[in-house]
Amino acid sequence: QVQLVESGGGVVQPRGSLRLSCVASGFSFSSYGMHWVRQAPGKGLEWVACIRYDGSNKYHADSVRGRFTISRDTSKNTLFLQMTSLRPEDTAVYYCAKVKNTIFDSFEIWGQGTMVTVSS
Amino acid sequence: QSVLTQPPSVSAAPGQKVTISCSGSSSNIGNNYVSWYQQFPGTAPELLIYDNIKRPSGIPDRFSASKSGTSATLGITGLQTGDEADYYCGTWDSSLSAYVFGTGTKVTVL
């Protein structure tokens, strides 16, 4: 079945770095755009970044631009989020999501999420 | 803060109907497809509505949606205790070049 599994979360100190991974299965990963969405404890959903199916276009939220980078490795069916210069306000559950058609429309499938805690 | 505005909470008795509004602008709802997501505590969100009004397979027809101008609405009829969850609208914002979510609405079944 279609599945997304995130990993790489953990506890990191402020100004530290972390790389999240999202392994896709059950669908043609190279044919779909992907997103990262986060949710701080007790808060709403916040979009983080997205990448087109072929990696040709990437978009990042203002809150993470210049610090986070989305990428993908089609040979490994894996989506990444490289996070640097982490701040306490980046503490959240990070979800990866597969789009239904294009990166501009809906998120059809979500992973279970991975928790990132930025604290000294 | 969120670009799309939703009421913090709505409630109704079992069997009744609730509606959740999502207000935006011409750069987002006005010119792009709206989606709705349902999220239970401690779990990942799930797609409820896409392309303004369409339901993915497996979503009951008790859930419906509409869009008019720069606003969208989600309706839940025949309310059940299992519908208690947080609901978010979402769409692409062409001016921001970013996906935007609504502030979220908690549905309570009285």
Q: What is the pLDDT of residues A47-69, one digit of tens each?
A: 999 999 999 999 999 999 999 99
**Which pLDDT belongs to residue A103?**
87
Q: Is the confidence at residue A89, as pLDDT, over 90?
A: yes
Contact A113 B44 (CB under 8 A): yes
Give the model's pLDDT for residue B1: 65
Chain-wide mean pLDDT for chain A?
97
Please calculate the CA angle A66-A72-A89 and round it to the nearest 5 degrees: 40
Q: Do B2 and A44 touch (CB under 8 A)?
A: yes
> pLDDT tens digits for chain B (110 residues)?
678 999 999 999 999 999 999 999 999 999 999 999 999 999 999 999 999 999 999 999 999 999 999 999 999 999 999 999 999 999 999 999 999 999 999 999 99
Closest-CA residue to A58 (of A26, A80, A76, A38): A80
Enter the DSSP assignment of A27: S
**Cα dihedral: B61, A31, A58, A78 (round 10):** 100
pLDDT at B31: 96
Token pair of B6 as six digits: 């939703």
B51 touches chain A (CB under 8 A): yes
B78 in contact with chain A, both atoms CB, cutoff 8 A:
no
Nearest to A12 by CA among A91, A114, A80, A112: A91
What's the CA angle centered on B9, arms B6 and B15, to 5 degrees? Answer: 115
